[in-house]
Amino acid sequence: MMNIPSRTAKAFLAALVAGAGMLCQTNAAFVVDSLDGDITPNEISKFVSTIAGRTPATNNWGNAMATHGTEPEGMWRMYDATRNISVLNNFIRWMDVYLAYRNDMPRRTTGCGWSAAATRSPATRAPTA
């Protein structure tokens, strides 16, 4: 019989995959103690400390918002699996920034911040002096 991971382990793996963009950070410290069983306190602690050190983009220069859903998706999956309030607080912090800087809000940068043709959008290029 095949050993099928529990729902919690699957959610943790999904959170790691969804948070793949954070793995590029030099200070990222994700840990997988085991692929069997529930998510360990050490895994949760490392996840929380890594996402707490990340800052969401507030403009789309250089397509900085091109993967805007990757980190929050990982946070939501981890919260769904653990119900850890620190993960939820970081998720809310990221979503507050994304909503504040969306295309139709006064805090956004000039030009279109959400474009299917992101490389041609003025908002993907840093302003010139």
Mean pLDDT for the chain overall: 74
The pLDDT of 115-128, averaged and rounded, is: 53
The pLDDT value given to residue 30 = 85
Q: Whole-model pTM above 0.85?
A: no
Q: In a 10 Å sphere around its CB, with 0-12 CB exposed, 13-18 middle and 19+ buried, how is residue 87 labelled?
A: buried
Cβ atoms of 109 and 97 closer than 8 Å: no
CA distance 25 to 49: 13
Q: What percent of the chain has pLDDT over 70?
A: 56
Query: Does pLDDT of 97 surpass 80?
Result: yes
CA distance 19 to 77: 10
The pLDDT value given to residue 64 = 77
H helices within 4-113, ranges in order?
Answer: 7-18, 41-52, 70-82, 85-100
Q: 38-71 pLDDT, tens per residue?
A: 999 999 999 999 999 998 888 777 777 777 678 8
Q: At a CB cut-off of 8 Å and minimum separation 6, what does 55 contact?
A: none
